[in-house]
Amino acid sequence: MNGNPDYKAIEWVEIDPKRIDVTGRSINNQITDFTEPLIELLTQNNIPFSIEGGYIRIWGYIKPGQCVDFVLTNINQD
């Protein structure tokens, strides 16, 4: 390996689909939720993912014997 990570060994990556913009102490923070567009993007590209505690987990590979509750979609059903 030349110092770069071996991406074939990545089991999963979690993304927090909500962005919090801190606006100040006396003003409420602004929260932007990107959950739906992110799910749509993953679905359109047939990328395996699950929802884990409010985070979106994108799966690289699954260990033998591991059970994952993937988000099922109705894509490519012409």
Kindly report, residue by residue over 28-68, the tens digit of the pLDDT.
889 899 999 999 999 998 888 999 899 999 988 777 777 77
pLDDT at 75 over 50: no
Quote the pLDDT of residue 77.
Answer: 40
pLDDT at 76 over 50: no
Cα dihedral 44/47/49/55 (nearest 10): -70
Quote the pLDDT of residue 78.
Answer: 39
Confidence of residue 72 (pLDDT cuts 50, 70, 90): low
pLDDT at 16 over 90: yes
Element holding 32 (H helix, E strand): strand 30-33
Burial grade of 48 (CB within 10 A; 0-12, 13-18, 19 or more): middle
